[in-house]
Amino acid sequence: MVERSDFNTLKIENERLLTEIDKLKQKLNEEVKKTQGGVKLDINLEKGRIREETSGLELELTKTGTRIESEIAGLRTQMETIKSQILQYMIGTLTGVGALILAYLRMFR
């Protein structure tokens, strides 16, 4: 009889321990899910922050590219203006030299 009562006590204790193990498993699963949810949220927030930062950098890059193109266009305009001025001075100089040569030829012939 004593063995049977010890057996029943051990059986009850075993069932209690199994129940406690199941509760601990459930609690562990809940904690894991909660942690996973927090990590996913953090990852999504970080992705959003990176997207915002990337779009800001792309906007800055676009502005810089536009400014560079504008500066290049200004420099090209200045170069064309200088070319036309040089051409005007050259034509004026050649005309003056030609007039002097013609005057010299006319005077001494």
Residue 92 placed within a domain: no
Residue 24 placed within a domain: yes
3-state secondary structure of 69: helix
- Domain of 56, in residue numbers: 1-77
Number of domains forming the structure of the chain: 1
Residue 106 placed within a domain: no
pLDDT at 1: 62
> What's the number of CA atoms in the CB half-sphere (13 Å) around residue 99?
6
- Percentage of residues in the chain having pLDDT higher than 70: 98
pLDDT digits (tens, 9 = 90+) for 49-69: 999 999 999 999 999 999 999
pLDDT at 2: 60
| Rg of the chain in Å (alpha carbons) | 46
Residue 53 placed within a domain: yes
Residue with tokens 């290049």: 72
